[in-house]
C-alpha cells in the first residue's frame, strides 16, 4: 500500500514506511547461533528504543491524499503506533512534531510523499531602571519615545520561562485599547487566571508537549500546575520588564539601583509564550510558540535563548526556518548572542534574518571594597552585602581569610575548613558560581571574594549570592593571591559603597562573556549585529524563587539584578517596538538597518582584549535609539535578498524551499548572492580578499527622510589597516521622488600589505567604516562597519 493511505479505522494499520521487519534465519544455523543472534538483536533493539526522540516534519499541504478528511488524520497515518503527535503546524509552515521516533523511523516518514523535511528537535537554554535613561529614552528629551507614544501600538512577544503577572511592571493602568489587529489570548492554568491579563499583558500561552515528550513526563494536562504560564524561574519576568515594563517608582534590589524602573518601550504590549521549563526549551515547543505569536499579531519577537550546538545548516534547523517565515511576515526577531565570549566564533543565533545582540555595560555600577589586613584596598563590585544579617561594612573588626583556590565542582570543597572565614575562590569551567558560594556558606563561610576569570576579568558582574560576596578584577585577584601566600594570618574587611552612576564616564564596555564573531556559518554577515545594555540590569522578578535561583533562597524581592546577553536582547526588542510604532511601514530589515547604522561606534572598550574586540564583539556598535527613527537612509532587506544569499551559499533548491517555502527557486550568480547581500556591514576574510585580489560588495540604500525634494549623501571612508577601500560613486543623489527611492553603490576592498601571518597570532581582525553623510540640512550619518578577519590558524 502507498505511504499515508488509510486502510481502515484501526490505528495499528500503517503505511509501508513501517512494515514489520521479517527475519527468517537460515536453516543451517545452529541453535546456539540463533540464540546469540536473538540476544544481540534484542540488545540492539533496546538500544534503539533508548534513542527515541522528537522530530519536526515539514509537509506540502497540497499533497495530502484525498481520502483523508483532515491533515491531522494524514499526519497520524504516517507514524508508527509507538509515536505520538506533539504539535500541528499550519501557519508559518505546514507540518507536525512527533515524539518517540527513532532516527530510522523519522527517515522513513521523511521519505513519504508530501513530507518535505524531517528536522531534529533539540534543547535551547536561556542566556542568562538605569538602562533606558542611559540609552537616552527619557521624556521629554527623547523624540523617539514621544513620536512612538512609548511603543503603545506595538506588541512584543517573549518566548521564555513565563511571567509573574502581579508585578507592578505589568500593570495596564493608563494604557489605551489593544491594537485592533491583535488576535492573541490568555490561557487559563493552575495559578494563572485569565483575569491576570490586561492592557499591558495581552497574551499568555504555554507550550510544553515537546518538553514533556523529551523528558518522559506523562502528565500533560494543561491545567496542571507544572504547565502554568506563571514564571517559576524569573528569567522571563526579568526580560519582559526590561523591554516593556511599566514605570515603577521606588524600584530597587535591597537598596541597590534605586529609582524609577521602566522598560525601554514602557507602553508597548507584552505577549508571553512560555516554552522554557526546568531543563530548558525544546525547539519543537519554541517553533510552535513562534507560529502562535506570528498568528496572534506580534510586531517583535524577543528570544533570550539559544543552543550550545545548533544545527549545521539552516534547512536542518527548525528555529531558523520558523524565524525566517516570521521575518518575511513582517515580525522583527531579536535574540541573545550568547554568553560564550571572549572565544572567537562563539556567537549564537546567527541566521542572517535574526538580530543577534551582545552585552555591554551602562554608566551605573555597585562598587565594593576589599580592605586587606596590610592596608591594601581592592576595588570590586557587589549586590549581596547590604541585606545580610552579617554586615561586613562597619569596619568594626577584620575577618580571617582563606583561599579555596580554583573551584571546578562542588566536590572540590569537600575537605575545606572555612567556618568563620572569608573565602577567596576562582570558579573554573561551567561550574555554577551561585551554587559554589551557597555551598561555602553552608560550610560556615561568612563571606566570599570571587574572581570570575576569563568570563569577567574586569570584575564588572555583580551577582545575587546568598552569602556576602565581592567580585574583583584580575589585578586585584593577583594582589589578594600574593597577600595570602606571604602573610601568616591574613585578614580582610569587605564593604559596599552602594550604587554609583558615572554619566559620560567609563561606559560602555563590551562584556568579556558576550559571545564573539566572526559568524561561524556565514562569515559575510556580521554577528553580533549590535551591542546593548546587558551587565547588572535591574528588572522585575518572580515571586516563586529567590534572586539566586536556588530553591533554598528565601528572599522574595520584586526586582532583581542580572547580567547576560539575555538582558541585552530585550533592550533591542524594546527599541524595535518604539521604531515600529513610529514607523509602522518599515520592514524588519529596515528597522535593523536603522538600529545598526545609527549605533554608537566610538569610545567602546572591551573587557577582555587590550586592543578591543571591535565589530566582532560589538557588531555595528552600541545601541543608540534616539537616532534610529530618523536614519535618513536604510539598507532594505527582503525575501529575494535572502534567497540570493542562500543561493550564494550553495544551498540546493530543495533546501531553499524548506527554509523559505517558496517553489521554483532558480539560482543565478553565486557571487552576487554573497557579496550583494544588502546587509549593513562589509565583512570579508583576509583569505578571500587575497584569493580574489579584491572583494567587491554591491549595496543599495532606500531614502526614508521624507519631506525633502532632493538630497546628496557623501561617502566618508575609514579603511582597515593594510587595506584600500574604493566606493563608487562617492556621492549619492536622491531626487525626492518618494520614500521608496533607492540608489545603488559598490565598495571594493583590496589588500595593500601582506597581513596573512600578522605576527603569527591565532586570529586577528582589522576594522574600518563607510559613512554616508548628508550634505547640508540635518546632516544625518549612515555608518556601516568594514571588517577584515583571519581565522586560518584556529
Report residue 481 as a C-alpha cell.
Answer: 593571591
Residue 471: strand, helix, or coil: strand
Dihedral over Cα of 420, 423, 428, 430: its sign: positive
Query: What's the alpha-carbon Rg for the chain, to the nearest Å?
Result: 28
Q: Are 389 and 466 in contact (CB under 8 A)?
A: no
| Nearest CA-CA partner of 593 in 447, 792, 467, 772 | 772
What is the residue whose three cell numbers read 575545606? Answer: 416
The whole-angstrom separation of Cα 45 and Cα 47 is 5
Q: Are 79 and 101 in contact (CB under 8 A)?
A: yes
Dihedral over Cα of 658, 660, 661, 663: its sign: negative
The whole-angstrom separation of Cα 507 and Cα 362 is 6
Beta-bridge mates of residue 537: 562
The whole-angstrom separation of Cα 339 and Cα 566 is 9
Running DSSP on this structure, what letter comes out for residue 277?
B
What does the CA dihedral 314, 317, 320, 326 come to, rounded to 10 degrees? Answer: 120
156-193 exposure pattern, b = at least 16 Cβ within 10 A, e = fewer: bbbbbbbbbbebbbbbbeebeebbeebebebbebeebe
Q: Are 305 and 126 in contact (CB under 8 A)?
A: yes
**Strand residue runs (E) in 155-279:** 155-160, 201-206, 248-253, 256-261, 269-274
The whole-angstrom separation of Cα 162 and Cα 670 is 43
Q: Are 790 and 766 in contact (CB under 8 A)?
A: no
What is the residue whose three cell numbers read 526580560? Answer: 239
Q: Are 531 and 347 in contact (CB under 8 A)?
A: no
The whole-angstrom separation of Cα 226 and Cα 231 is 10
683 Cβ neighbours under 8 A, 6+ residues apart: 518, 519, 523, 524, 525, 526, 615, 785, 786, 787, 789
User: Annotated active-site positions, please?
Assistant: 160, 235, 566
Running DSSP on this structure, what letter comes out for residue 254?
T
Amino acid at each position: 500500500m502507498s505511504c499515508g493511505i488509510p486502510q481502515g479505522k484501526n490505528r495499528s494499520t500503517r503505511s509501508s514506511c513501517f512494515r514489520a521487519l521479517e527475519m527468517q534465519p537460515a536453516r543451517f544455523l545452529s541453535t546456539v547461533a540463533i540464540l546469540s543472534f536473538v540476544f544481540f538483536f534484542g540488545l540492539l533493539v533496546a538500544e534503539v528504543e533508548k534513542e527515541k526522540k522528537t522530530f519536526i516534519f515539514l509537509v506540502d499541504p497540497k499533497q495530502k491524499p484525498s481520502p483523508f478528511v483532515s491533515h491531522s488524520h494524514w499526519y497520524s497515518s504516517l507514524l508508527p503506533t509507538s509515536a505520538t503527535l506533539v504539535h500541528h503546524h499550519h501557519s508559518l509552515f505546514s507540518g507536525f512534531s512527533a515524539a518517540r521516533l527513532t532516527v530510522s523511523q523519522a527517515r522513513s516518514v521523511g521519505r513519504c510523499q508530501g513530507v518535505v523535511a524531517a528536522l531534529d528537535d533539540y534543547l535551547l537554554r536561556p542566556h542568562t531602571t538605569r538602562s533606558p535613561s542611559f540609552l537616552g529614552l527619557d521624556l521629554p528629551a527623547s523624540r523617539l519615545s514621544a513620536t512612538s507614544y512609548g511603543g503603545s501600538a506595538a506588541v512584543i512577544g517573549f518566548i521564555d520561562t513565563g511571567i509573574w503577572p502581579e508585578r507592578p511592571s505589568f500593570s495596564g493602568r493608563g494604557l489605551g485599547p489593544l491594537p485592533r489587529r491583535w488576535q492573541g489570548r490568555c490561557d487559563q492554568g493552575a495559578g494563572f487566571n485569565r483575569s491576570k491579563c490586561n492592557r499591558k499583558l495581552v497574551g499568555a500561552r504555554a507550550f510544553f508537549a515537546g518538553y514533556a515528550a523529551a523528558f518522559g513526563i506523562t502528565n500533560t494536562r494543561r491545567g496542571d500546575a507544572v504547565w502554568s504560564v506563571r514564571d517559576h524561574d524569573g528569567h522571563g519576568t526579568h526580560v519582559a520588564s526590561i523591554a516593556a515594563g511599566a514605570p515603577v517608582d521606588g524600584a530597587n534590589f535591597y537598596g541597590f539601583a534605586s529609582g524609577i524602573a521602566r522598560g525601554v518601550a514602557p507602553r508597548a504590549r507584552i505577549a508571553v509564550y512560555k516554552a522554557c521549563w526546568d531543563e530548558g526549551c525544546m525547539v519543537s515547543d519554541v517553533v510552535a510558540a513562534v507560529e502562535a505569536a506570528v498568528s496572534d499579531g506580534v510586531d517583535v519577537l524577543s528570544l533570550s535563548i539559544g543552543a550550545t550546538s545548533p544545527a549545521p545548516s539552516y534547512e536542518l534547523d527548525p528555529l531558523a526556518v520558523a524565524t525566517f517565515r516570521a521575518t518575511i511576515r513582517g515580525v522583527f526577531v531579536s535574540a541573545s548572542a550568547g554568553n560564550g565570549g571572549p572565544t572567537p566564533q562563539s556567537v549564537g543565533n546567527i541566521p542572517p534574518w535574526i538580530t543577534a545582540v551582545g552585552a555591554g555595560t551602562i554608566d551605573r555600577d555597585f562598587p565594593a571594597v576589599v580592605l586587606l589586613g596590610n592596608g591594601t584596598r581592592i576595588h570590586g563590585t557587589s549586590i549581596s552585602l547590604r541585606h545580610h544579617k552579617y554586615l561586613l561594612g562597619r569596619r568594626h573588626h577584620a575577618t580571617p581569610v582563606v583561599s579555596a583556590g580554583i573551584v571546578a565542582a562542588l566536590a572540590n570543597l569537600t575537605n575545606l575548613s572555612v567556618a568563620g572565614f572569608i573565602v577567596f575562590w576562582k570558579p573554573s569551567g561551567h561550574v555554577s558560581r551561585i551554587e559554589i558560594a551557597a555551598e561555602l556558606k553552608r560550610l560556615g563561610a561568612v563571606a566570599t571574594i570571587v574572581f570570575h576569570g576569563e568570563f569577567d576579568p574586569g570584575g564588572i558582574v555583580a551577582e545575587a549570592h546568598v552569602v556576602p560576596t565581592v567580585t574583583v578584577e584580575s589585578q586585584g585577584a593577583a594582589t589578594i593571591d600574593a597577600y595570602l601566600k606571604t602573610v601568616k594570618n591574613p585578614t580582610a574587611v569587605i564593604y559596599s559603597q552602594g550604587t554609583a552612576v558615572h554619566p559620560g564616564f567609563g561606559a560602555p564596555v563590551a562584556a568579556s562573556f558576550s559571545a564573539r564573531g566572526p559568524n561561524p556559518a556565514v562569515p559575510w554577515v556580521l554577528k553580533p549585529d549590535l551591542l546593548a545594555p546587558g551587565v547588572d540590569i535591574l528588572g522585575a522578578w518572580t515571586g516563586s524563587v529567590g534572586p539566586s535561583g536556588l530553591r533554598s533562597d528565601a528572599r522574595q524581592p520584586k526586582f532583581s539584578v542580572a547580567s547576560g546577553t539575555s538582558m541585552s536582547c530585550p533592550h533591542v526588542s524594546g527599541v524595535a517596538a518604539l521604531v515600529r510604532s513610529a514607523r509602522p511601514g518599515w520592514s524588519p530589515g529596515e528597522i535593523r538597518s536603522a538600529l545598526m547604522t545609527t549605533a554608537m561606534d566610538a569610545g567602546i572598550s572591551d573587557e577582555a582584549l587590550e586592543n578591543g574586540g571591535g565589530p566582532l564583539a560589538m557588531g555595528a556598535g552600541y545601541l543608540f535609539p534616539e537616532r534610529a527613527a530618523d536614519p535618513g537612509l536604510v539598507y532594505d532587506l527582503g525575501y529575494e535578498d535572502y534567497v540570493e544569499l542562500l543561493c550564494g551559499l550553495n544551498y540546493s533548491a530543495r533546501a531553499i524551499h524548506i527554509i523559505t517555502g517558496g517553489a521554483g527557486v532558480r539560482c543565478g550568480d553565486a557571487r552576487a548572492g554573497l557579496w550583494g547581500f544588502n546587509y549593513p556591514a562589509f565583512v570579508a576574510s583576509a583569505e578571500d580578499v587575497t584569493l580574489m585580489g579584491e572583494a567587491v560588495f554591491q549595496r543599495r540604500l532606500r531614502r526614508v527622510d521624507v519631506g525633502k525634494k532632493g538630497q546628496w549623501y557623501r561617502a566618508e571612508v575609514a579603511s582597515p589597516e593594510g587595506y584600500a577601500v574604493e566606493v563608487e560613486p562617492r556621492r549619492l543623489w536622491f531626487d525626492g521622488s518618494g520614500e521608496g527611492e533607492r540608489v545603488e553603490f559598490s565598495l571594493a576592498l583590496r589588500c595593500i600589505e601582506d597581513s596573512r601571518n600578522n605576527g603569527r597570532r591565532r586570529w586577528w581582525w582589522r576594522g574600518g567604516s563607510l559613512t554616508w553623510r548628508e550634505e547640508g540640512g540635518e546632516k544625518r550619518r549612515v555608518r556601516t562597519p568594514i571588517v577584515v578577519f583571519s581565522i586560518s590558524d584556529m
